[in-house]
Amino acid sequence: MDPNRTIAALPWFYFLNGMLFWQATWFLYFQGTLSGAEAIALYAVYDIATTLIEVPSGVFSDRIGRRFTLALSALCGALGCLALATGDSFAVFALGQALIGASTAFRSGTDTSLLYESLDAAGRTQEVEAQEIRVQRFSFTGFALSAVIGGALAQIAPTLPFYATALAFLAALALTLRLSEPPRSRTTTARADLRALTGALTHPVLAWLFALGVLMYGFSHLPFVFGQPFIRETLDTIGLAGEAPLVSGAITAVMMAISVAVSFVALPLRIRLGLPLTLLAAFALQLALNATLSLTTATLAIAVLALRMVPDALANPFILARIQPLLPAQTRATYLSLKSLAGKLVFAATLMAASTTAESTGLLPTADLQRILGWYTLAGIACLATLAILARPLPLERGPEAPEQ
């Protein structure tokens, strides 16, 4: 077992999982067959579906192994995309969304756990921040390429982006055969694992990072959910609504390209500002982007969507790098899955509430978009202030002190 081989191959696994050709057109595709409100509900189905498998998948990863779990993730993703490509009803679309949710759940926490454990086995844990930035860069590059290609494919046929994504997931499945994982001792009992997990969840630094991660997941995905109808409504004012899939793909590609560029300055910025200020600034930028979309429908506001992933580029690698050394190996993926599950549940619950205030038939009006985003922004400002106050006494910069087990 050569951990360096896995470290070298993992960025390509991230790249293939980033090849979501449907990402820039999925909302337009759903509401073209169903309605705007049902399209919102379908995204909530994706998040809610992970409740059935998110935490069990983390336990599965910790108990059975990282590579097999990642293989299941890729297989579920391929099957989900095929269901969406061939579906013509809410039920079939919901099944596809549930399978893609399962794919995300199986991958959640397992990919980064395998990266950290491989670095640990190779004696390279001092590289964890740089390596997290590297795999994120590969993921963003995959997003960028697939967005613009997917937008063009959707102009030919709206189902083509889903078929192309299925092929990418199958390639990721093949790549898992090249991965290996460090051997892990399984001498602990279930009770000891639960005690270790409880210690991690109540650890002050981990609890603060947990809350921030949950909030940033939701505010990062708001423009993802509402960006496509916003683009369509804006283009409709200048008679170009039919070009929405292509424009949406181009904007997503630019968004990811900007995020890749930002990733090259993320580490120097984090060193200069310190971890707490860097993370809070990233969250504040998320709120500013959503606030802008809630206040204007001008064509220029479409450019704001190009900055959606910048906060993630500035925060996610450092959140993961700070968390990893604090987690016991036997519950690492379980904890990360719990954090991911909490983010999805909170966001799904708020989306379901938002869908009840939107038009139940036809396209989603701009007024509904702006009102929903405005309420989200006000809530986010209150959360940011609370996190800033709670951060002051915490040793967020220090490490790697571990929670009691």
How high is the mean pLDDT in each 10-residue block of the chain (405 residues)? 90 96 79 73 77 87 92 96 89 92 91 94 92 95 88 86 96 92 71 85 93 94 70 64 65 84 93 94 94 72 80 94 88 88 84 68 62 88 96 79 47
CB 323 within 8 A of CB 211: no
Q: Give dist(CA 201, CA 211) in Å, integer.
A: 11
C-beta separation of 66 from 366 below 8 A: no
Residue 172: the pLDDT is 97
What per-residue confidence (pLDDT) applies to 231? 67
pTM of this structure: 0.82
Helix, strand counts (H, E) of the chain: 16, 0
Predicted confidence at residue 252, as pLDDT, reads 74
Instruction: Please state the CATH superfamily assignment of the domain spanning residues 3-179+192-391 in this structure.
Output: MFS general substrate transporter like domains (1.20.1250.20)
- Return the axis-axis angle of helices 204-236 and 310-323, rounded to nearest 10°: 160
Q: Which residues contact 390 (CB under 8 A, 6 or more apart)?
A: 208
Alpha carbon separation from 71 to 13, 59, 68, 76, 107 (Å, rounded)? 11, 16, 5, 9, 9
Distance of CA 262 to the CA centre of its chain: 17
- Per-residue CA distances from 158 to 76, 85, 178, 296 (Å): 21, 8, 33, 29
Burial class (CB in 10 A: 0-12, 13-18, 19+), 21: buried
Backbone angles phi, psi at 219, to 5 degrees: -75, -25
pLDDT of amino acid 402:
47
